[in-house]
Amino acid sequence: MKFHQMNWQQRLAAIDANTNLSTSEKALLNHNYSAINEQMIENYITSFSLPEGVLPNIIINDDAYQVPMVTEEPSVIAAASNGARMINMGGGVHTTNVSREMIGQVLINDADFSTIETLVTNQAAHLIDLGNAAHPSMAQRGGGLKRITTRDLGSGFVSVDLHIDTQAAMGANVVNTISEAVAGYFKAQQVGNVVMAILSNFATSSLVTAKVALPFKAIAKAGFEAADIAQRIVLANQFSQRDPYRATTENKGVMNGIDAVVMASGNDWRAISAGVHAYAARDGQYRNLVTWTCDDTTLYGEITVPMPVGIVGGSISIVPLVQTNHKLLNVDSASQLAQVIVAVGLAQNLSALRALVTSGIQAGHMQLQLKSLALAVGATIAEVPVLVTQLQQAAHADMQTARQLLTEMREK
């Protein structure tokens, strides 16, 4: 029997035969079984969980939000909360979401660009009807295929871009269904070799902008001059403008926040990450997503990224915890969710840069990292606080020291 034809018990038995699992390892796989999750993927064996926490208060367009975040990194939620605290002192984040459309691509080669362009112009209404007929319910709700553009990719390669309003959904399936229907038309016209039809994750028609203006007192820190902190944040940010090595790390920090909310909200974080990083490289060089500037009194931050998330569809309608998270988020539209996510990314970046240009990142992270270190060497939940206190006093708080301290503690 093929692996994917086996039922869950048979799959576990097959894995056990290959891997020789211990009783407690088998119990762990069993314990995390979920009937819903089993339906979601192929070859299901168990469910993998990550910690979820909440950013308790971030003000966005004058409304306060509590934001669930899913992450395995110890300092992410603490940093987001700290960033939000500073931002709230400056009146909160102001966000805009200019448009919310997904793009589907029909990719054709061996094509004459002007022939395709003329066809698209002359047949626009027909093509739009054809696309919408493939997914009538989306059109009935006021969404669906809205317009079609073409791009000449050179050497006979052409992209026919379908601009699709997916309403409250991220809409990958809708976009792909409509794109395949429109591709059928181009195949029938024999205007080139229709290679494929698929949505683009470079969602440049779903851009969200978030801005903050922070009086220096909002970023004040004991032992540092607030104006100096602001100038150093601006400088730090300028490195990312110039250097992809630094920009990648700064953007990773932004994604600490963005991905954590994207995951908690049941959206596709790979799609979001791919689109955001492509946007960071849109002028040919990979750069930072957030821009910081300052004048004599105020630090200004701004980020624009594609954020094509949904509040219905996919795992959102299936996973109960995701539904609970939407209740915590209390957003009414996909656009509102997108704005919350981008605002959290900005808060995350502010907190990271402020730490980096003042006391450095390790000081604030240490308490949380020591907890992870204690767990990593096998400390029980009861032993963790004692071991963390001892590690704080150790000359080198590393794995070896942690192991040694734990052994000594248990021997006493």
Residue spans of alpha helices (H) in 161-243? 172-189, 226-242
Rounded CA-CA distance 226/240 in Å is 22
Q: Is 268 a catalytic residue?
A: yes
Print the binding letters for residues 65-94 with ligand MEV: x by CB under 6 A, - otherwise: --------x---------------------
In the window 234-263, what residues touch ligand MEV (CB under 6 A)?
249-250, 252-253, 256
Q: Which of 112, 70, 9, 31 is nearest to 329 (CA)?
A: 70
Q: Is 252 a catalytic residue?
A: yes
Q: How many residues bind ligand MEV (CB under 6 A)?
A: 10
**Is residue 366 at the binding interface for ligand MEV, with CB under 6 A as the rule?**
no
Nearer to ligand MEV, 171 or 257 (CB): 257
Between CA 126 and CA 202, with CA 103 as vertex, the angle to 5 degrees is 160
Work out which of 67, 213, 350, 352 binds ligand MEV, going by CB under 6 A.
352
Shortest CB 74 distance to ligand MEV, Å: 10
107 has which bridge partners?
A: 159, 196
Nearer to ligand MEV, 197 or 280 (CB): 280
Residue spans of alpha helices (H) in 141-207? 172-189
CB atoms within 10 A of CB 9: 9
Task: Quote the crossing angle between the two packed helices 361-376 and 399-411, to the nearest 10°.
Answer: 50
Shortest CB 129 distance to ligand MEV, Å: 48
Q: Is 94 a catalytic residue?
A: no
Q: Which of 31, 126, 217, 252 is catalytic?
A: 252
What are the counts of helices (DSSP H) followed by strands (DSSP E) for the chain?
Answer: 16, 10
Q: Is 187 a catalytic residue?
A: no
Work out which of 361, 366, 375, 386 binds ligand MEV, going by CB under 6 A.
361
**CB environment 316-326: b (16+ within 10 A), e (fewer):** beebeebeebb
Shortest CB 303 distance to ligand MEV, Å: 13
Nearer to ligand MEV, 56 or 360 (CB): 360
- For ligand MEV, the binding residues (CB under 6 A) are 73, 249-250, 252-253, 256, 352-353, 356, 361
The residues annotated with a catalytic role in the active site are: 73, 252, 268, 365
